[in-house]
Amino acid sequence: MIEVRGLTFDYPTRRALEDVNFSIEPGSVTALVGPNGAGKTTLLRCIAGLGQPMRGAIEVHGVDVLARPREAHVHLGYLSDFFGLYDELSVRRGLEYMAWSRGAHAVDVREVAARLGLADYLESLAGQLSRGLRQRLAIAQAIVHRPAVLLLDEPASGLDPEARLQLGDLFRELHRAGMTLLVSSHILAELEHYASDILILDAGRVIDQHGVRTERPTRSIELTLSRPSPGLDEALRRQEGVGEVHAEGLSARFDFTGDAAAQQDLLALLIREGHPVCAFAERRDSLQDAYLSRMRRPS
Amino acid sequence: MNPELRRNLWLEIGTQRLVAMPVVLVLVFALAYLLADTVADGWHAVAVSAAVAYGFATLLWGTHMAGDAVLGEVATRTWDWQRMSSIGPWTMTWGKLFGSTAYAWYGATICLPIFVFASLDDPKIDTSWWLGMLLAAAVLAHAVGLIWSLLLTRNQGARGQLGQRRSSAYLLLLLILLVVLPWISGPFQELATWYGRVETGRGFALVSLALFAGWAVVGAYRLMRIELQFRNRPWVWLGFCAFLMGYFAGFVPAGMRLFTGYSIAMLLTLVAAFTTPRDLLQLRRLGRAVEGRDLATVLQQTPPWLSSLLLAGLVGMAVLVTPTVICQGPFCIDGFALESLVVIAMLFLLRDLGILWLVSLGGRSRRPELAAVVYLIVLYSILPGVLGALGIDAGLALLLPRPDLAPAWGILAAVPGPLVVGVLLWRQARRRAGDPQPAVGGREAPGTRR
């Protein structure tokens, strides 16, 4: 759905993106993460056709963004991190303008407003809305023409926890509706709730891209003891499918290649051998763990 | 309906404003009529007040609104929404041109019929001519306002200094009025000699104003294309240069026409250099396109100032090789060598462009254009004044064009200026040569050291 090849973007005194290559599958929700100044906003603006790169090619929904930006905009929705609204227009008129300006004349803006929880505010002026409602209106404006791809730059910044939760629900709904989302955010715990892929950008380069929920052959198991058990390390290492064991205090972590039945057998064995196991479960790395682990690794 | 026009109508035309405009105007016209001594004078006063009210509504208020059309969007961070739309550049241009000024035009639609009705039997007013002039002047002023707005938006520095720069739109407005008013009340009301033909001044002024208004709309459209990520080739800009060169050359004797065209091309080079961003990245893209012999990209990346500089160079060479160049009437100065002036003027133009680029690349000035103007004022007037006062006349030729000297000396004296600026610019450019530094992310990019 999004193809970026050899993208290099320069500002007068520094290079913001360096030979960026990646592709994003249709219907995915990709978390775009990276430290401050990594080039996330520049990348999103380039994909949105708002910046002219020094080199490279960008294709969205089969349209060359750099050669035919206006055509690409029909398939694109973009919400900037610092967006503005037409404060003197009502919600209804703001949405109508955005739909018409993207060639979507047959759109029922009431439906879009209802989807974003704005049905009761259709005749309210945008300037009179709360921050959370303004954010929703901005997202409604970005999706009112039903784009195939939605680009969001820090969409949750400044929102209260409840509004963030609702935002996550909305993104899941858009994902279910088949929209492809590329979301830049620093709040990885939130991205985890809806992201299917992660794209890590650092110093203007893509340093990693992978699926968040990719099934791996090795699982990480974490167990907790109720009291110290000196022979635990040895007992674990003897078992088939157990990899390197990291034990510390009352807890231990190890890689395990066995399936769920083998995991059950292992637990039963440990208890039979008298190890006081009080917790035994697969440990799933959070998005934050994956990100930090990748950032600590040398490129 | 044009979505941009409709949005502007929503914002500009409210019930209260719809009612207020005719009420105020009717009161103004009634006052003008009642203060006159006779019925005929009364209708004359109404016609004049309608024209003046039209001027206030369109030339003052309308130009202000057109000047704010894009700058306002940038300031309220809504411009990206518009750039992300699928509205084409022409639709966006006329939507903004007539949309942002909708309320001014609403006032105009009241003033103009009143003006026509009140002046029809007035022997002192040429109704149809005034009507044409008023309409063309408004379109010209609004289009220039929109051009101003787009130019400031394009300038990277303007994005951070909008509050300070917006006020300078009023200076431009003043400039427009200074240009337009002489057409309306000045010498063109009598006769105009253009390419040896004597034209009625009024007709000539009307056609001229309409042509300039047309070019202004074309200019706004071309700048809108750039904002909407289209890439312009230089032909339209060169066409405008050729138009201005041809237009103003028509007012001078035949032997001076080519040199007048040369002067106009040089002036336009400076105007383009001062009003468009000095974009090193664009020059880098241009350099790569030249290396790769990619003609299409070369044309797209050539900045307007460079196009008109090349045009000026070509016309300058034509002046040098044309044997018919003569010195006539008021355009002649004793001992004036036109050929040496062509070379000297080009050298001074290169020096001035170099100074502008030097200040812009230095990055220390928030307003490099203004800083460059200050330097040029110092070089062209203050420093020569000081040298003159000290009696050091020999140094003046280094600072001011001296075509009155022997050609070789005049040209030789003009060389150090661009040479020194060129060396400084070369050193500045070398410091920023090659690819820019990598991004300043949270840690170093692979294989790089900050």
Take residue A42 and report the two structure tokens written for it: 């520049």
pLDDT in tens, A242-257: 888 888 888 888 888 8
Of B279, B435, B446, the CB nearest to A205: B446
Question: Cβ separation of A202 and B86 shorter than 8 Å?
Answer: no
The partner residues of B289 in beta bridges, in order of sequence, read: none
For the whole model, what pTM was predicted? 0.82
pLDDT value of position B443: 39
Of B77, B86, B441, the CB nearest to A38: B441
For A85, name the nearest residue in chain B, comparing CA atoms only: B78
CA distance B9 to B3: 10
Take residue A77 and report the two structure tokens written for it: 């929705």
Spell out, as residue ranges, where chain B has pLDDT lower than 70: 156-192, 200, 323-337, 432-450
Q: B240 versus A214: which is more confidently predicted? A: B240
pLDDT value of position B220: 95
pLDDT value of position A43: 92
pLDDT value of position B186: 55
For A78, name the nearest residue in chain B, comparing CA atoms only: B84
For A95, name the nearest residue in chain B, comparing CA atoms only: B7
ipTM above 0.90, yes or no: no
Phi, psi of A164 (to 5 degrees): -65, -40
pLDDT in tens, B324-362: 555 555 555 444 567 788 888 999 999 999 999 988 887
**CB-CB contact of A95 with A113 (8 Å):** yes
C-alpha dihedral sign at B99, B100, B102, B108: negative
Residue B400 lies in a domain: no
3-state SS string for chain A: CEEEEEEEEEECCEEEEEEEEEEECCCCEEEEECCCCCCHHHHHHHHCCCCCCCEEEEEECCEECCCCHHHHHCCEEEECCCCCCCCCCEHHHHHHHHHHHCCCCCCCHHHHHHHCCCHHHCCCEHHHCCHHHHHHHHHHHHHCCCCCEEEEECCCCCCCHHHHHHHHHHHHHHHHCCCEEEEECCCHHHHHHHCCEEEEEECCEEEEEEECCCCCCCEEEEEEECCCCCCHHHHHHHCCCEEEEEEECCEEEEEECCCHHHHHHHHHHHHHCCCCEEEEEECCCCHHHHHHHHHHCCC
Residue B16 forms contact with A (CB below 8 Å) = no
Residue B97 lies in a domain: yes
Residue B78 forms contact with A (CB below 8 Å) = yes
pLDDT in tens, B110-165: 999 999 998 888 888 888 888 998 999 899 989 988 998 898 888 754 444 544 44
CA distance B414 to B347: 6
Residue B3 forms contact with A (CB below 8 Å) = yes
Question: Cβ separation of B11 and A86 shorter than 8 Å?
Answer: yes
Residue B109 forms contact with A (CB below 8 Å) = no
Question: Cβ separation of B446 and A207 shorter than 8 Å?
Answer: yes
Residue B88 forms contact with A (CB below 8 Å) = yes
pLDDT value of position A182: 92
* Residues of chain B found within 8 Å of residue A34, distances taken between Cβ atoms: 441-442
Residue B285 lies in a domain: no
Take residue B134 and report the two structure tokens written for it: 């008023």
Residue B151 lies in a domain: yes
Question: Cβ separation of B82 and A101 shorter than 8 Å?
Answer: yes
Residue B146 lies in a domain: yes
Residue B217 lies in a domain: no
Number of inter-chain CB pairs under 8 A, A vs B: 143
Of B80, B86, B281, the CB nearest to A102: B86
Of A12, A14, A82, the CB nearest to B439: A14
Residue B356 lies in a domain: no
Q: How many domains does chain B have?
A: 1
Restricting to A residues 180-219, those with a Cβ less than 8 Å away from any Cβ of B are 201-205, 207
Q: Which domain holds residue B49?
A: 1-181
Residue B115 lies in a domain: yes
